[in-house]
Amino acid sequence: MGLSHLIQRSITKKLFSSKPSNILPSSWFLTDTTGKSFYHSGVSNGAKINSFDDTDSLKISKSSYHVSSGGFMRGVVFWEPNKPVTIEEFQMPRPKAGEVLIKTKACGVCHSDLHVIKGEIPFASPCAIGHEITGEVVEHGELTDRKTIERFPVGSRVVGAFIMPCGNCFYCSKGHDDLCEDFFAYNRSKGTLYDGETRLFLRNSGKPVFMYSMGGLAEYCVVPAHGLTILPNSLPYTESAILGCAVFTAYGAMAHAAQVRPGDSVAVIGVGGVGSSCLQIARAFGASDIIAVDVQDEKLQKAKTFGATATINSKIEDPIERIKVCTSSFSF
């Protein structure tokens, strides 16, 4: 599906060591689609900066983390709208029953994060942002059931979903995880997990920091197990980070709402993160006419590589008239 072309930007964190950062500092890389780093920060203690090796994300890592309660990690914190986010040190987060501690390997920067930063989505603050993660299982919370531990053994590769279903509420029990009552009542409304508490506390002051989903722009994060799925070895960490947000949103639209079938005509209005995923999924489902509509020529150009058979700049052309022409062989 050309997934490697999907991600436009992601923040990838590469640790110098597989151990928590009380032993060695880590570096942060903002990468482009090629995985080439063009920004890094946060290196301290005069440590040597490792060069970014994109092939690392393809390696199947063996878990060798030694999590101790005295450890700490770093993560990105949003304080208040339109103020720069900062990188802070946290106490090592501890998972509770049914939760998993993840060593974050990659985390996308979603437009929802930007909405929070701009104050366009009201959210409890300070909070750790980032909700499109891939990573490696480090630890299970005490009293976690055996099935969950067997499903996500320590060391397994996982991808997280931004909606982290509780698995128990009215909607979850009916398979409508996307409407999970606890997720919206606790995480989206209060910035906590489902016992009403955050798992994030600043290292020095102990100040609680709320969680936007799992607070994935951090070296480690705690995720309810229902919000995780195994990431196949064939999929790299970095490009797969958006599977649990932009891609599954697009999948829902194409598979369930639109119910795209082979031979269908599909018009996608807006080809950003979700829209460009829609194009690829429509192509994978066998749609014949795949029409991308946007107001930016650059995005429309890229849309062709994602499977668009026609593109419309709606600033220049009437999209309805053009779509009718593009699908003229199709009887409405």
What residues contact 142, with CB distance under 8 A and at least 6 apart?
Answer: 96, 97
Angle among Cα 34, 39, 41 to the nearest 5 degrees reads 140
**110 forms part of the interface with Zn ion (CB under 5 A):** yes
194 near 186, Cβ under 8 Å?
yes
CB-nearer residue toward Zn ion: 159 or 169: 169
277's tokens: 């995923």
Footprint (CB under 5 A) of Zn ion, residues 222-281: 245
**107 forms part of the interface with Zn ion (CB under 5 A):** no
Binding mask 192-231 for Zn ion (x = CB under 5 A): ----------------------------------------
- For Zn ion, which residue of 127, 138, 166, 278 counts as binding (CB under 5 A)? 166
**323 forms part of the interface with Zn ion (CB under 5 A):** no
CB-nearer residue toward Zn ion: 222 or 274: 274
Terminal C-alpha separation, the chain: 29
Distance of CA 69 to the CA centre of its chain: 27
Q: How far is the CB of 171 from Zn ion (least distance, A)?
A: 6
CB-nearer residue toward Zn ion: 214 or 245: 245
Q: How far is the CB of 133 from Zn ion (least distance, A)?
A: 10
CB-nearer residue toward Zn ion: 180 or 223: 180
Closest CA to 50 of 99, 15, 87: 15
173's tokens: 């029990």
10 near 58, Cβ under 8 Å?
no
Three-state SS letters, 179-204: HCHHHHHHHHHHCCCCCCCCCEEECC
Q: How far is the CB of 162 from Zn ion (least distance, A)?
A: 5
Q: Determine the size of the site formed for Zn ion (CB under 5 A).
A: 9
Please give the full DSSP string across 41-70, using - where no structure is assigned: E---TTPPPPPP-GGGGGS-PPP-----TT
**169 forms part of the interface with Zn ion (CB under 5 A):** yes
Minimal CB distance residue for Zn ion = 110
Secondary structure element (H or E) that encloses residue 30, with its range: strand 26-31
Q: Which stretch binds Zn ion (CB under 5 A): 17-25, 159-167, 189-197, 305-313?
A: 159-167
- For residue 158, the cross-strand partners are 135, 230
CB-nearer residue toward Zn ion: 177 or 289: 177
HSE-CB for 270 with a 13 A CA cutoff: 5
**180 forms part of the interface with Zn ion (CB under 5 A):** yes
CB-nearer residue toward Zn ion: 77 or 172: 172
Binding mask 55-94 for Zn ion (x = CB under 5 A): ----------------------------------------
CB-nearer residue toward Zn ion: 166 or 214: 166
What residue ranges bind Zn ion (CB under 5 A)?
Answer: 110, 112, 165-166, 169, 172, 180, 182, 245
